[in-house]
């Protein structure tokens, strides 16, 4: 069974079509990337897949289950974690607390069991898991720092650590290197690659940065004006004529000849 099956997904805002007839499968353990020029519908597709927008038609199945009918706060428990393009961290909370929130759906102690004093052992377990995720992204030493004091690249790593601490099977990454300098971009790219190599994870990556995608993706879907124009390995995509045309435009001669 595929991790994710998207069939004929369509999203419209009034008369404007964000994307139309998008179908693809993401295999288990695969890093699948969606790219496209500005305005191609990448972000809209991401938002539909993370359930921020309600698609008008089509279906999405998550390991066979109807993904579009799951309550949004239940997605985490089904093993779906997401990152945000503009960061979804909690500035006032410390780095460790930010990651710990990611384990909310794994925590069992409610008012009753907490009242019986059983919360302590569970809390230690979750703290250990959160710390482990922080060590993975290289922020173990910053655990007590409020997130708002960290530079942008570090905050992104806090967010990725939180995703990791959620123990997801599918990770949705929304333009993780957007707005970063070259150094930060290289760090995050390396981190995403390690995520994928060292954890049993399926990753769906929506990204503007071609360099990053070509470096980490197993397969790439290219959108242009809301329509899929190509899907294949990075090598195939790089020499696909339609893709080159979408990114670079048609040559004047061709148009004259046509």
Partner 1 sequence: MTEFLQLLFQGLSLGATYALVALGFAVVYRSSGVINFAQGAMLLLGAYAISWLAVDLGVAFGLAVLAATIVLALGGAGLHALVLRRVVGQPTFVLVMITIGVGIAVTHGVEAAFGPDRRLLGDPWGSSAFEAGGVVVNTVKVWGIAVTALALAAYFAFDRYTRWGLAMQATAADEEATLSVGVPVRRVHAATWAMAGALATLGGLFLAGFPGAPQPALGDAALRAFPAVVVGGLGSPVGAVVGGVLIGVIEVLTSGYAPESLGTNFYAVAPYIAMIAILLVRPYGLFGARPVERV
Q: Tell which one of 8, 13, 65, 104 touches partner 1 (CB under 8 A).
A: 104
Among 93, 178, 210, 244, binds partner 1 (CB under 8 A): 93
Kindly give, in sequence order, each residue whose CB lies less than 8 Å from that of residue 218, ignoring residues fewer than 6 positions away: 30, 31, 32, 233
- Which one, 109 or 214, has the nearer CB to partner 1? 109
Angle at 213 (CA atoms; ends 136, 242), nearest 5 degrees: 165
Sheet holding 65-66, edge to edge: 16-26, 4-13, 57-62, 65-66
Q: How far is the CB of 28 from partner 1 (least distance, A)?
A: 22
Does position 128 bind partner 1 by CB under 8 A?
no
- Quick one: which segment of 6-14, 103-111, 193-201, 216-224 binds partner 1 (CB under 8 A)? 103-111
Collapsed DSSP state (helix, strand, coil) of residue 24: strand
Chain-centroid distance of CA 23 in Å reads 18
User: Site map for partner 1, 42-81, x if CB under 8 A?
Assistant: --------x-x------------------xxxxxxx---x
How far is C-alpha 230 from the geometric centre of its chain's CA atoms? 20
Q: Is there binding between residue 18 and partner 1 (CB under 8 A)? A: no
Closest CA to 85 of 143, 46, 137: 46
Binders in 196-255 for partner 1, by CB under 8 A:
none
What does the DSSP assignment read for 51-74? TSS--SEEEEEETTEEGGGS-GGG
Closer residue to partner 1 (CB): 31 or 81: 81
C-alpha 175: how far from its chain's center? 8
Count of positions on this chain that bind partner 1 (CB under 8 A):
38
Binding-site ranges for partner 1 (CB under 8 A) = 50, 52, 71-77, 81-82, 84, 88-93, 97, 100-102, 104-105, 107, 109-111, 114-115, 119, 123, 146, 148-149, 151, 162, 166
């Amino acid at each position: 069974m595929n991790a994710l099956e998207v069939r004929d997904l369509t999203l419209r805002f009034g008369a404007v079509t964000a994307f139309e007839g998008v179908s693809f499968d993401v295999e288990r353990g695969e890093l699948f990337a969606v790219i496209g020029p500005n305005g191609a519908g990448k972000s809209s597709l991401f938002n539909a897949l993370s359930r921020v927008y309600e698609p008008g038609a089509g279906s999405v199945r998550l390991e066979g289950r109807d993904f579009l009918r799951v309550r949004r706060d239940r997605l985490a428990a089904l093993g779906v974690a997401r990152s945000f393009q503009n960061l979804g961290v909690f500035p006032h909370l410390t780095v460790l607390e930010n990651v710990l929130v990611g384990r909310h759906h794994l925590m069992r102690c409610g008012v009753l069991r907490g009242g019986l004093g059983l919360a302590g052992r569970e809390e230690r377990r979750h703290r250990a898991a959160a710390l482990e995720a922080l060590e993975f992204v290289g922020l173990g030493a910053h655990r007590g720092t409020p997130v708002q004091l960290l530079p942008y690249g570090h905050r992104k790593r806090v967010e990725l650590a939180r995703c990791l601490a959620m123990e997801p099977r599918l990770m949705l990454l929304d333009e993780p290197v957007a707005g970063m300098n070259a150094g930060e971009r290289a760090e995050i790219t390396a981190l995403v690659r390690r995520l994928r190599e060292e954890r049993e994870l399926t990753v769906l990556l929506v990204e503007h940065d071609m360099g990053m995608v070509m470096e980490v993706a197993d397969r790439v879907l290219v959108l242009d004006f809301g329509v899929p124009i190509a899907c294949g390995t990075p090598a195939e995509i790089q020499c696909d004529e339609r893709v080159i045309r979408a990114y670079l435009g048609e040559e004047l001669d061709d148009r004259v000849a046509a």
